[in-house]
């Protein structure tokens, strides 16, 4: 099953490689990983999307907790949560396609960030499935380049991860 694991860790050099190294060394699946400092500059917040059986996910959480730099670990999928991912996609936009691409962007609540006479660069935010749906709606030959951030997640309501 797919799980979103959120963690807070000391914002030390090499912290990211400890997490990435753990996943490769123990052959855990890693679908995406995002990391950036939090409002407290000494802490980094990381969101990891992974897949595994209940046993594997339990081990992943325990192993993450075991890393000395990790302050807190939470499996967001244990409760209700919000997840968002951002994608920048450059598409071919010439002739009739320009209008159609604009419409499609609006339907997906995206924004066109940059325009050239042959291309649009579109920003889209949402759960990964929405970004997938957008890409599926575009003729593959018109997709020139995509870049995705991987998911960031946060618990809903009063569910707060803080130290």
Return residues touching other proteins (CB under 8 A): 9-10, 13-14, 17-18, 21, 25, 55, 58-59, 62-63, 65-66, 68-71, 163
Contact 127, 84 (CB under 8 A): yes
Nearest-approach distance from CB 154 to other proteins, in angstroms = 21
Give min distance, CB of 57 to other proteins, in A: 12
- DSSP code for 158: T
Helices (H), the chain: 15-25, 54-66, 96-107, 128-137
Nearer CB in complex with other proteins: 24/116: 24
Q: How far apart are CA 110 and CA 153, in angstroms?
A: 20
Of all helices (H) and strands (E), which one includes residue 129? helix 128-137
Closer by beta carbon to other proteins, 27 or else 136: 27
Residue 82 φ then ψ, to 5°: -115, 140
Closer to other proteins by Cβ: residue 57 or 76: 57
Give the span between the Cα atoms of 94 and 98, in whole angstroms: 5
Report the nearest approach of other proteins to the CB of residue 62 (Å). 4
Q: How far is the CB of 102 from other proteins (least distance, A)?
A: 47
In the complex with other proteins, the residue whose CB is nearer, 25 or 136, is: 25
């Amino acid at each position: 099953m797919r799980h979103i694991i959120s963690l807070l860790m000391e914002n030390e050099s090499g912290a990211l490689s400890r997490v990435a190294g753990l996943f490769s060394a123990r052959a855990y699946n890693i679908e995406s990983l995002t990391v950036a400092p939090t409002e407290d500059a000494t802490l980094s917040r990381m969101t990891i999307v992974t897949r595994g059986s209940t046993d594997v996910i339990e081990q992943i959480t325990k192993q993450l907790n075991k890393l000395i730099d990790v302050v807190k670990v939470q499996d967001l999928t244990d409760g209700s949560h919000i997840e968002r991912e951002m994608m920048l996609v450059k598409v071919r936009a010439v002739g009739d396609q320009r209008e159609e691409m604009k419409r499609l962007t609006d339907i997906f609540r995206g924004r066109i960030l940059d325009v050239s006479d042959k291309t649009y660069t579109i920003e889209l935010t949402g759960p990964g499935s929405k970004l997938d749906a957008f890409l599926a709606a575009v003729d593959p030959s018109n997709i020139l380049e995509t870049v995705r951030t991987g998911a960031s997640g946060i618990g809903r309501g009063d569910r707060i991860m803080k130290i």
